[in-house]
């Protein structure tokens, strides 16, 4: 048994295993090949459809059949990933040039997913057949065994266009990701031709043809001058805006209409955009919106925002660019597999890789075609030669005992055993020297081939074969001839499949939005015990004052232009803009504080909420679990940061109480073990917020502060402690930092 146990370093095994896994994901799943611009799953889906005969001019077939066949033969992974790849290749709003013709619900630009694969159907697009799969039968690419070595699949498709640029690609591997925008087919083809004519062409000169990305959703690229750097390095950020128009609405109102969206807004982000626009109205960032409607359809995007009659439409549009995703960024990282390894490439490198691939594919194609034509020439020459001595051949056939004897005579001139009509025929037969293939063709030839017209057709076909051989040899021997063939193919592709550019490329000025200052007004902020907050105006509060105080934990006045401060048991201070809280009706639920601040109600408790303006007028009292206390000037909490430390804590300590110091005379500390200490608040010194404070009460090692109470002079405040009513002012007065009095239930 011991001789079968391999002893090795665990870290080395893990390192090797992880590297193997990472390379498998990078090479075999997540990144496209620079030659055909396809990931393995996409390539396998297209090849499987080709094998199944699902051509563009044939009936659609169920997507489930395609997915199942692909999974069973070529791609041993989940059916959902295969179907998702198929769906994306059929979506014209994601791909500049869809490769699959989908029939049924294949999702939409607003983020609705495709129907289940059992409901949808698909077939290949014509461009896929013509540009990706046309020459697979001509030995143009290598075929490799599939995962179980029962089938063969192409290692790459013989793509005639730079698909990596035309359709772009997105994928996340291990430790790397690719993000390549789609481009215009016609422009890319022109750039490829320009490179073929001058391989020393610069990226700047190539950009005379490829202006920039051409997103299927249109839009406006606003940083034209930065594109050169992006295309030289293969990385950068493209800024893109949606296209907005102004239309006359009813009753003299203006409608702002979004007709094109930024490419990153595809999917659920359209819904988020609508929510963001609605939020601008709800939070009073703008009072110009009357109505929002999404009128998008199969004809295109149409989001209509109706504005008030006196609204500044241009300023509102600028606000949309600033405050929503109507202006967004597309991160470019042109990473692809080149020569078996991932590489970030610029525009020229991608075009070069594709051109080199085209020359390799065409070399193999024309070598295959040349070999076929040379084989045809051999047969044709044999048949023509046979027609000239047909009488002798017929005499050989009639005088031979079997096919082997006749073939030996035709190939080697062997006449033994053959009965000839004359000695002259035997002598002539001895000089015959047909090749093996020619002899087989002669023996298989039918008699009707001896008709005059058939012989003439054979001669014409032979001349055509000789012309093809001459042409193929010229293409293979002269690079210029092959380049012309490639460019002719590209021209044919451009003529049939190119479309007009959809994305505008420009240098646009930074959007300037003049935010109107909100009219300052007094409000009441209400925060309930669940942490839901809202603001109401003063008349609304006064009409519902009793309910507001009884139903909410914190109730205080604030200004709509100010901030509120949230103090927690962890010693943190979180600030929230009052304008971020919903303003409206008294019975509205409000919004969780977690949603508008860094406060996390699952990990910490809210001890005090107050207007930042009020804190500037007062001081704050802090008491911690370990009985540390201090008074801090409220002005120290007039900060703009969303999160700051409100106090310094010792290890294992937390804040028990934070109170605004107004009229409190006495402080009463209650410990977990039942000790109460009452002393004057003025004994607590004022400290900075970064200080720990002073000890307010002596505690045993197992005891801690549980509650804090305050009294104002001679008031008769009382609490219930262990079913006993306890008058706070009747507790024995003592000094700070003493043990206090034990109270029993």
Residue 13 φ/ψ, nearest 5 degrees: -60, -45
Residue 482 has, within 13 A of its CA and on its CB side, a CA count of 20
Q: Which of 18, 21, 119, 470 is catalytic?
A: 119
**Rounded mean pLDDT, 279-301:** 84
Residue 644 pLDDT: 93
Q: Which residue has the tokens 């949309």?
A: 320
Residue 661's region, left for phi above 0, alpha for psi from -120 to 50, else beta, is beta
Q: Name the E strands within 598-684.
A: 606-611, 619-624, 628-633, 643-645, 655-661, 666-671, 675-680
Contacts with 678 (C-beta within 8 Å, 6 or more apart), sequence order = 666, 667, 668, 728, 731, 732, 733, 734, 740
Residue 580's pLDDT band (boundaries 50, 70, 90)? confident
Strand 504-505 relative to strand 220-221, pairing: parallel
Contacts with 307 (C-beta within 8 Å, 6 or more apart), sequence order = 249, 253, 254, 255, 256, 288, 289, 290, 313, 316
- At residue 498's C-alpha, the angle toward residues 494 and 504, to 5°, is 130
What's 78's DSSP letter? Answer: -
- At residue 606's C-alpha, the angle toward residues 601 and 608, to 5°, is 155
Residue 691 pLDDT: 93
Of residues 5 and 739, more confidence is placed in 739
Contacts with 305 (C-beta within 8 Å, 6 or more apart), sequence order = 255, 256, 257, 258, 277, 289, 291, 292, 316
Q: Decide if pLDDT at 573 tops 70.
A: yes
**pLDDT digits over 473-494, tens only?**
999 999 999 999 999 999 999 9
Integer angstrom CA distances of residue 215 from 8, 108, 167, 321, 344: 52, 16, 9, 19, 21
Within 10 Å of residue 277's Cβ, how many Cβ atoms? 22
Of residues 172 and 334, more confidence is placed in 334
Tokens, residue 508: 């646009």
Of residues 456 and 619, more confidence is placed in 619
Residues in the chain: 745
Residue 468 φ/ψ, nearest 5 degrees: -65, -40
**pLDDT digits over 9-19, tens only?**
777 777 776 66
Of residues 71 and 284, more confidence is placed in 71
In the three-class reduction of DSSP (H, G, I as helix; E, B as strand; rest coil), residue 568 is classed as strand
CA dihedral 96, 98, 102, 107 (to 10 degrees): -30
Percentage above 90 pLDDT, the chain: 57
Percentage above 70 pLDDT, the chain: 95
Q: Decide if pLDDT at 126 tops 90.
A: yes
Mean of all residue pLDDT scores within the chain: 88
**Rounded mean pLDDT, 248-253:** 82
Query: Distance between CA 411 and CA 423 in Å, rounded?
Result: 19
Query: Distance between CA 654 and CA 239 in Å, rounded?
Result: 47
Q: Catalytic annotation on 618?
A: no
**Rounded mean pLDDT, 164-183:** 88
Strand 718-721 relative to strand 724-727, pairing: antiparallel
Q: Decide if pLDDT at 351 tops 80.
A: yes
**Rounded mean pLDDT, 408-424:** 76
Closest CA to 503 of 239, 209, 262, 214: 214
- At residue 557's C-alpha, the angle toward residues 554 and 558, to 5°, is 110
């Amino acid at each position: 048994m011991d001789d079968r146990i391999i002893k090795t370093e665990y870290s080395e095994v893990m390192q090797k295993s992880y590297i193997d896994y990472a390379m498998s994901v990078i090479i075999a799943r997540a990144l496209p090949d620079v030659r055909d611009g396809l990931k393995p799953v996409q390539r396998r889906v297209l090849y499987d459809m080709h094998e199944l005969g699902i051509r563009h001019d044939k009936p659609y077939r169920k997507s489930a059949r395609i997915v199942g066949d692909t999974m069973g033969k070529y791609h041993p992974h989940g059916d959902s990933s295969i179907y998702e790849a198929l769906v994306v290749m059929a979506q014209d709003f994601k791909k500049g040039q869809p490769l699959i013709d989908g029939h049924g619900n294949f999702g939409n630009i607003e983020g609705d997913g495709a129907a289940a694969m059992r409901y949808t159907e698909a077939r290949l697009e014509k461009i896929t057949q013509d540009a990706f799969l046309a020459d697979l039968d001509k030995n143009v690419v290598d075929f490799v065994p599939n995962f179980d070595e029962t089938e063969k699949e192409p290692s790459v498709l013989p793509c005639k266009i730079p698909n990596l640029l035309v359709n772009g690609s997105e994928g996340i591997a291990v430790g790397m990701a690719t993000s390549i925008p789609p481009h215009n087919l016609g422009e890319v083809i022109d750039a490829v031709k320009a490179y073929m004519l001058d391989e020393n062409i610069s990226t700047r000169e190539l950009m005379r043809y490829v202006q920039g990305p051409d997103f299927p959703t249109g839009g406006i690229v606003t940083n034209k001058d930065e594109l050169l750097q992006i295309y030289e390095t293969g990385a950068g950020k493209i800024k893109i805006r949606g296209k907005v128009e102004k239309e006359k609405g009813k009753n003299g109102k203006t409608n702002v209409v979004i007709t094109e969206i930024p490419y990153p807004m595809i999917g659920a982000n359209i819904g988020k955009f609508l929510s963001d626009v609605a939020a601008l109205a709800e939070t009073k960032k703008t009072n110009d919106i009357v109505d929002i409607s999404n009128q998008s359809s199969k004809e295109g995007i149409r989001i209509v925002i109706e504005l008030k009659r006196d609204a500044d439409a241009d300023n509102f549009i600028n606000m949309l660019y600033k405050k929503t995703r109507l202006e967004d960024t597309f991160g470019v990282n042109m990473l692809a597999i080149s020569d078996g390894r991932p590489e970030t490439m610029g525009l020229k490198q991608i075009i070069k890789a594709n051109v080199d691939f085209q020359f390799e594919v065409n070399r193999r194609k024309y070598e295959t075609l040349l070999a076929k034509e040379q084989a045809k020439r051999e047969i044709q020459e044999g048949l023509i030669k046979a027609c000239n001595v047909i009488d002798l051949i017929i005499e050989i056939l009639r005088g031979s005992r079997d096919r082997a004897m006749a073939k030996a005579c035709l190939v080697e001139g062997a006449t033994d055993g053959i009965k000839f009509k004359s000695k002259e025929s035997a002598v002539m037969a001895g000089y015959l020297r047909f090749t093996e293939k020619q002899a087989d063709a002669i023996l298989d030839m039918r008699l009707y081939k001896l008709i005059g017209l058939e012989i003439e057709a054979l001669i014409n076909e032979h001349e055509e074969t000789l012309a093809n051989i001459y042409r193929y040899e010229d293409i293979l021997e002269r690079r210029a001839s092959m380049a012309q063939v490639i460019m002719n193919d590209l021209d044919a592709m451009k003529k049939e499949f190119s479309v007009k550019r959809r994305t505008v490329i420009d240098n646009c000025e930074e959007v300037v939005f003049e935010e109107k200052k909100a009219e300052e007004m007094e409000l009441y902020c209400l925060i309930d015990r669940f942490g839901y907050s809202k603001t109401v105006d003063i008349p609304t509060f006064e009409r519902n004052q009793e309910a507001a105080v009884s139903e909410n934990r914190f109730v205080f006045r604030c200004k709509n232009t100010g901030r509120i401060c949230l103090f927690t048991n962890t010693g943190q201070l979180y600030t929230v803009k009052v304008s971020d809280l919903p303003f409206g009706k008294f019975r509205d639920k409000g919004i969780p504080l977690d949603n508008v601040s860094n406060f996390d109600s699952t990990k910490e408790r809210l001890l005090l909420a107050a207007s930042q303006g009020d804190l500037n007028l007062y001081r704050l009292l802090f008491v911690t679990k370990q009985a540390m206390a201090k008074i801090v000037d409220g002005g120290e909490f007039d900060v703009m940061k969303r999160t700051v430390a409100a106090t310094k804590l010792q290890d294992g300590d937390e804040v028990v109480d934070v109170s605004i110091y107004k009229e409190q005379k006495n402080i009463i500390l209650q410990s977990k073990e039942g000790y109460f200490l009452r002393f004057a608040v003025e004994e607590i010194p004022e400290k900075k917020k970064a200080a720990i404070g002073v000890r307010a009460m002596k505690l045993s090692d197992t005891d801690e502060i549980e509650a804090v109470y305050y009294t104002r002079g001679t008031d008769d405040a009382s609490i219930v402690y262990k079913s006993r009513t306890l008058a706070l002012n009747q507790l024995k007065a003592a000094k700070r930092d003493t043990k206090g009095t034990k109270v029993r239930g």
